[in-house]
Structure 1
């Protein structure tokens, strides 16, 4: 089965393709134009490189956010358009899980707590905390929307941080948790679709995937709040 993974929670459009459960291709595109104008052409070209078209996709793994309102809406709408009428299952995965999976795959089997943070604007962060066991990230709660000071009060050493919020709060992280707590490797900054695949493929295999009608973005701000990237 051909499985397409997609994340649009940031300005980066991230795509990955798995064939029979193995990731065979991935690309990340930093977009200089509107996501709505770019997403379908990029997906089409990405698949064409493997000799595939949209009708060859048998399942979709989609990053649900949180993140950019507009980009998430466009991404979810695109997934719905791809899946409707084709009876394609879709697994929605929180986007921070991709960053957590990248960290877990790199750091080893057992490490300190991990907190993935991203800039939510207005002085707030999106934050998701994990523990890493046997090389896999296990969520230690739901994603939160909160200021750094509140997040700092919730966490204790040892903990490491990843995500684009690390750049924003690097000095705070180092001061509170030490110089090794801030992870700055590029693959730990934005969610990459290839790291959504393991959780998404497992959900599809276990029957936990859904149809496109039930896929919704993960918004932590009020729905009428307009915060632009």
Structure 2
């Protein structure tokens, strides 16, 4: 019976869940700016207690590894690694876009088209990939600038559902009749449960000492607008 603590911090949503054998039994999440640093450990404690467990009863820690927000991923992964060290538990890393696609399929089990999760990057850029309805990866994860021709080859053949916080800003340019959009939140640790359980069963664990988030792009430090105006 695999009891797994799951952490998702790749976007503005701070989300924690506990699963048993691939089924979510408790969760705590909230959306907002700069929540992760202040609330993540509190959410973890609440989710573990709501599951009726203590920390030593957990079998593994799973974390959404990215791509996504540099700061959010860094906080989530460092917290997960700290728990693994303290509790002597294995670390499981779940690809964020795959988790989002799995979440959509769990809510729409009869869907037979393609799934394109999108995480907002900057301007018209998103972190994205394309999966089929069996979660096979069709287009590799990339940072992609979206325009009116994006995904046309696939859209000409079948429906693609676009989802995630990056999809909303693309709706005005992705106007092909086969382009559909889902505004629901799929950046939730609750959608990690089946994937994390499969990884645990296959003993697909990370090296806690060397594991790093999948940032996809290098972090670029920018000056606050107030400082720029003073120069």
**Shorter-chain-normalised TM-score: which range?**
0.7 to 0.9
Q: Which consecutive unaligned segments of at least 5 residues does structure 1 have?
A: none
Matched, 1:164 2:159: no
CA deviation profile, 1:21-43 (whole Å, cap 9, x unmatched): 43211222124544222211221
Contact 1:91/1:209 (<8 A) preserved? yes
Q: Which residue of 2 aligns with 1:71?
A: 72
1:126 and 1:32 map into 2 onto residues whose CA distance is 19
| Structure with greater Cα Rg | 2
1:176 matches 2:176: yes
Partner of 2:227: none
Distance 2:207 2:138 in 1: 27
Distance 2:87 2:206 in 1: 13
The alpha carbon displacement at 1:113 in A equals 1.5
What is the 5 A alignment of 1:209-228? 209-222=205-218, 224-226=219-221
Structure 1 residue 176, shift from structure 2 partner: 2.1
DSSP 3-state at the match of 1:191: coil
Distance 1:24 1:16 in 2: 8
**Equivalents in 1 of 2:29, 2:110: separation in Å?**
27
Partner SS for 1:201: helix
- 1:82 Cα deviation after fit: 0.2
* Structure 1 residue 109, shift from structure 2 partner: 4.5
Which of 188, 198, 203 aligns to 2:199? It is: 203
Report which stretch shifted further, 69-78 or 203-212.
Answer: 203-212
Q: Which stretches of structure 1, 4 residues or more, deviate above 3 A after TM superposition?
A: 31-34, 150-155
CA contact (8 A) 1:64 1:95 kept: yes
Q: Which structure features the higher share of helix residues?
A: 1
Aligned residues: 219
Asked if the contact 2:17–2:189 (Cα under 8 Å) also holds between the matched residues in 1, the reply is yes
CA drift of 1:107 comes to 2.6
The aligned counterpart of 2:146 is 148
1:34-66 deviation digits (Å, cap 9, x = unpaired): 422221122112212233333332201110111
8 Å CA contact retained: 2:3, 2:57:
yes
Q: Which residue of 1 aligns with 2:137?
A: 139
CA distance in 1, matches of 2:55, 2:72: 20
Alpha-carbon RMSD: 2.2
Q: CA deviation at 1:206?
A: 0.8
Please tell me whether the aligned partners of residues 125 and 143 of structure 2 are also in contact (alpha carbons under 8 angstroms): yes
The separation in 2 between residues aligned to 1:227 and 1:194, in whole angstroms, is: 33
Shift of 1:122: 4.0
TM-score normalised over the length of structure 1: 0.85
Q: Name the CA shift for 1:41/1:108 in 2 (closer, same or farther; >3 Å).
A: closer
How far off is 1:121 after superposition? 0.9
Q: Give the deviation of 1:143 after TM superposition.
A: 1.1
